[in-house]
């Protein structure tokens, strides 16, 4: 039997030590997400970068192994990692990461940043300007020096569980859940979509002060932002009509507007986000 050399043996010791548990309920593993990024780059995996060890991920691994002339066993060992090239190199924590870096560790970093509420434009294994800005925001949020370099202190902070909403929320409307909080393709959906007919009333999920009410660029459409206690903000997007004004104090249940399709919306629904000191958190952690 052929054995691994010391270089690869050391790699797997590091990998075992740095494997990340799910950063949040329903989240996947950062190493699995990095593998999915590598497989997407080769056109072999079309699912979401969700970190889940799914049958689709295993099938993609086997197809890659077959193409690379390796035993198609679905196990990502040293030979498979090596064949993945730059996408298979560097486990997270094995080197400081700054803009221009690329590899397995960058994809893991992007995945964890997203689950901590600071998604970059895409989870693609390349540390560009969007990932650097997300990294700086996370560092500032965590009380670290916002230098845009993912070194040991930043990685340690990413190992902690993500924040949850510290106040109770009410549902802003009644309707089926569309896209949840989490991965969507190679991007990250930072809120939840609640499907409802156009014109359905949208209510405040918590008491607070209206800090924004108007049309917002970037796909939001008509948007209302409420600032509540404990540094919590709730965001209500794609509204057809806004029925509230900036600076107004509202109570839970106050009508804010009506469901619409303004901004980047393919059908009528409410995009609802919750942020804690700027970090996007899963609204379901605070909804009954």
What does the pLDDT look like over 7-48, one tens digit per residue?
333 333 333 333 444 455 457 899 999 999 999 999 999 999
Number of domains in the chain: 2
Whether 141 has a pLDDT exceeding 80, the answer reads yes
- Whether residue 192 sits in one domain with residue 155: no
Neighbouring residues of 7: CB distance < 8 A, sequence distance ≥ 6: none
Length of the chain: 288
Phi, psi of 204 (to 5 degrees): -65, 135
Does 167 fall in a domain? no
Nearest residue to 74 (alpha-carbon basis) of 35, 16, 111, 30: 35
pLDDT digits over 75-100, tens only? 999 999 999 999 999 999 999 999 99
pLDDT digits over 50-76, tens only? 999 999 999 999 999 999 999 999 999
Tell me what pLDDT residue 133 has.
98
Cα 74 to Cα 149: distance, rounded to the nearest angstrom = 34
pTM to 2 decimal places: 0.89
Average pLDDT value for the chain: 91
Tell me what pLDDT residue 205 has.
98
Tell me what pLDDT residue 2 has.
32
Which of 9-13, 20-24, 172-176, 276-280 is predicted least confidently?
A: 9-13
Q: By CB neighbour count within 10 A (0-12 exposed, 13-18 middle, 19+ buried), where does 39 fall?
A: buried
Does 176 fall in a domain? no
Task: Give the DSSP letter of residue 285.
Answer: G
Q: Which spans in the chain are helix H?
A: 6-18, 30-41, 55-67, 78-83, 104-115, 129-141, 152-159
Strand partners, 208: 250
Does 250 fall in a domain? yes
Cα 61 to Cα 31: distance, rounded to the nearest angstrom = 14
Whether 4 has a pLDDT exceeding 50, the answer reads no
- Whether residue 135 sits in one domain with residue 36: yes
In this structure, the strands spanning 249-250 and 208-216 are antiparallel
The pair of structure tokens assigned to 226 is 């409420």
Whether 278 has a pLDDT exceeding 80, the answer reads yes
User: CATH code at 263?
Assistant: 2.70.70.10
- Whether residue 99 sits in one domain with residue 208: no
pLDDT digits over 234-270, tens only? 999 999 999 999 999 999 999 999 999 999 999 999 9
Q: Which spans in 142-207 are helix H?
A: 152-159
Domain that holds residue 63: 6-159
Nearest residue to 179 (alpha-carbon basis) of 116, 266, 109: 266
Nearest residue to 158 (alpha-carbon basis) of 97, 229, 81, 88: 97
Does 169 fall in a domain? no
Cα 214 to Cα 262: distance, rounded to the nearest angstrom = 11
Tell me what pLDDT residue 13 has.
31
Cα 256 to Cα 258: distance, rounded to the nearest angstrom = 7
Does 173 fall in a domain? no
- Whether residue 260 sits in one domain with residue 193: yes
- Whether residue 260 sits in one domain with residue 225: yes
Which of 159, 174, 202 is a domain's end point?
Answer: 159
Cα 278 to Cα 233: distance, rounded to the nearest angstrom = 8
Cα 258 to Cα 147: distance, rounded to the nearest angstrom = 42
- Whether residue 22 sits in one domain with residue 108: yes
When pLDDT is averaged across residues 128-144 and rounded to a whole number, the result is 98
Does 104 fall in a domain? yes
| Cα dihedral value 145, 151, 155, 156, nearest 10 | -70
User: CATH code at 25?
Assistant: 1.10.101.10
pLDDT digits over 182-231, tens only? 999 999 999 999 999 999 999 999 999 999 999 999 999 999 999 999 99
Tell me what pLDDT residue 27 has.
72
Confidence of residue 1 (pLDDT cuts 50, 70, 90): very low
């Amino acid at each position: 039997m052929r054995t691994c050399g010391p270089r690869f043996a050391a790699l797997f010791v590091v990998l075992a030590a740095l494997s990340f548990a799910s950063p949040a309920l329903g989240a996947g593993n950062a190493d699995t997400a990095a593998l999915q990024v590598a497989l997407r780059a080769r056109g072999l995996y079309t699912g979401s970068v969700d970190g889940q060890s799914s049958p689709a991920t295993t099938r993609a691994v086997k197809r890659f192994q077959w193409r690379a002339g390796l035993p198609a066993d679905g196990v990502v060992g040293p030979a498979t990692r090596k064949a993945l090239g730059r996408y298979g190199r560097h486990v997270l924590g094995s080197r400081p990461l700054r803009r221009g870096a690329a590899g397995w560790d960058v994809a893991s970093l992007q995945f964890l940043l997203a689950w901590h509420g600071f998604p970059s434009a895409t989870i693609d294994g390349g540390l560009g300007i969007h990932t650097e800005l997300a990294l700086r925001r996370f560092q500032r949020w965590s009380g670290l020096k916002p230098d845009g370099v993912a070194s040991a202190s930043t990685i340690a902070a990413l190992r902690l569980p993500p924040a949850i909403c510290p106040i109770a929320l009410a549902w802003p409307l009644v309707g089926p859940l569309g896209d949840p909080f989490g991965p969507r393709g190679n991007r990250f959906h930072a809120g939840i979509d609640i499907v409802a007919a156009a014109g359905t009333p949208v209510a405040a999920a918590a008491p607070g002060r209206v800090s924004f009410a108007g049309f917002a660029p970037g796909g939001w459409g008509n948007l209302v932002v409420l600032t509540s206690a404990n540094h919590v903000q709730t965001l209500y997007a794609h509204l057809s009509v806004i029925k509230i004004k900036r600076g107004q104090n509202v109570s839970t249940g106050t009508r804010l507007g009506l469901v619409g399709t303004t901004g980047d919306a393919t059908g009528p629904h409410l995009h609802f986000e919750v942020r804690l000191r700027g970090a996007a958190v899963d609204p379901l952690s605070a909804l009954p």
